Amino acid sequence: MNTLLPTTIVGSLPKPIWLSEPEKLWSPWKLHDEELRDGKLDAQSLAAHEQSRAGLDIISDGEQTRQHFVTTFIEHLDGVDFDRRETVRIRDRYDASVPTVVRAVTREKPVFAADAAHLRAATDQPIKWALPGPMTMIDTLYDAHYQSREKLAWEFATILNQEAKDLEAAGVDIIQFDEPAFNVFFDELKDWGVAALERAAEGLSAKTAVHICYGYGIKANTDWKATLGAEWRQYEESFPLLQQSSIDIVSLESHNSRVPVEVIELLRGKTVMLGAIDVASDTIETPEDVATTLRSALPYVDKDKLWTSGNCGMAPLARGVARDKMIALAEGAEILRAELS
Ligand SMILES: [Zn+2]
């Protein structure tokens, strides 16, 4: 793999048309039982192959075995009743019908370890696996048991730590926690959010990452972004805390966003995974677009600590669009690599 400017994706990729309906979040599976199990793993192998062919350095599962990045993990835990639903406001942005925590949450067995072992066998390149972060998990549930967002987050942090250790044992090199909620709930972020994240990542020898973004390119998110003003300074809340934390890598949104690039100075010393692909647009970036975004970050991050990815997951995009964007990412990083070496 390239040690300078390694490239990867944030997490999700579109699924093949035979597995679920394309260009849709929470798209239902088209297969069932054994066929579904085989289909998901075949899709994961394809996703690994496409990333590798595109020239990416670190391979993800493309979230091919999950319907949604938060709920699929929660579905495998005990203590959450998916038939008992309440409407809550998610990320303070849109209402959704969510399952209810009815008793203590526990993980009876590993959720993704077998999928990760399958990905490990599908490539010789380093692999990265994303899990939802504790704060983002509690924001997707109604809690009728703990009656405390903080207490539930700590329970999830413990469970995530068990899961992360199983993923590490399955050969995962980088474990990423997705915490878009860090861009919304600043008081909780400071009170316990970063501490809960560190608990989830405790004792791992795999590298740890946190992904904080402005969300998929869906309408609720683009409407919200339109209210955020000329400069998006939300990262100024989390970055100083993360700079002091045990987390190795911070993944953020940059390309086509209104995030002032100098905010990454707040992470100095950490590895920065800079979003150089817009996942809210079907327009394919040119390699030079990607190189320009990466170049703009160089005053604020040591070049050996700059990684790159998309701004967020690519699940809602058309498959060909996602593929071409991955190729642009790899080619763009190569332009800057040539300049720097
Ligand atoms: Zn994201």
Domains and CATH numbers, the chain: 33-340 (3.20.20.210)
Q: Answer for the pair 318, 24: CB distance below 8 angstroms, yes or no.
A: no
The alpha carbon of 11 and the centre of ligand 1 are apart by a number of angstroms equal to: 8
The Å distance, Cα 341 to ligand 1 centre, comes to 31
Q: Ligand 1 centre from 213 Cα, in Å?
A: 5
DSSP for 115-181, please give it: HHHHHHHH-SS-EEEEEE-HHHHHTTSEESSS--HHHHHHHHHHHHHHHHHHHHHTT-SEEEEE-GG
The Å distance, Cα 283 to ligand 1 centre, comes to 18
| 0.75 exceeded by pTM | yes
Structure tokens given for 226: 């339109």
**Strand pairing report for 94-106 and 78-90:** antiparallel
* 218-69-273 Cα angle (round to 5): 80
Find the 179 Cα to ligand 1 centroid distance in Å.
Answer: 8
Q: How far is the CA of 214 from the centre of ligand 1 (A)?
A: 6
Which residues are within 5 Å of ligand 1 (an ion), measured at CB?
Answer: 213, 312
CA of residue 34 to ligand 1 center, whole Å: 31
Ligand 1 centre distance from Cα of residue 221 (Å): 11
* Centre of ligand 1 from the C-alpha of residue 205, in Å: 24
How far is residue 8's CA from residue 52's CA, in Å, rounded to a whole number? Answer: 10
Inter-residue contact 88 to 98 (CB < 8 Å): yes
Residue type, 21: E
Task: Output the tens digit of pLDDT for each of the chain's 341 residues.
Answer: 889 999 999 999 999 999 999 888 888 999 999 999 999 999 999 999 999 999 999 999 999 999 999 999 999 999 999 999 999 988 888 888 999 999 999 999 999 999 999 999 999 999 999 999 999 999 999 999 999 999 999 999 999 999 999 999 999 999 999 999 999 999 999 999 999 999 999 999 999 999 999 988 788 888 888 899 999 999 999 999 999 999 999 999 999 999 999 999 999 999 999 999 999 999 999 999 999 999 999 999 999 999 999 999 999 999 999 999 999 999 999 999 999 98
Cα 213 vs. chain centroid, distance in angstroms? 9
Contact between 65 and 167 under an 8 Å Cβ cutoff? The reply is no
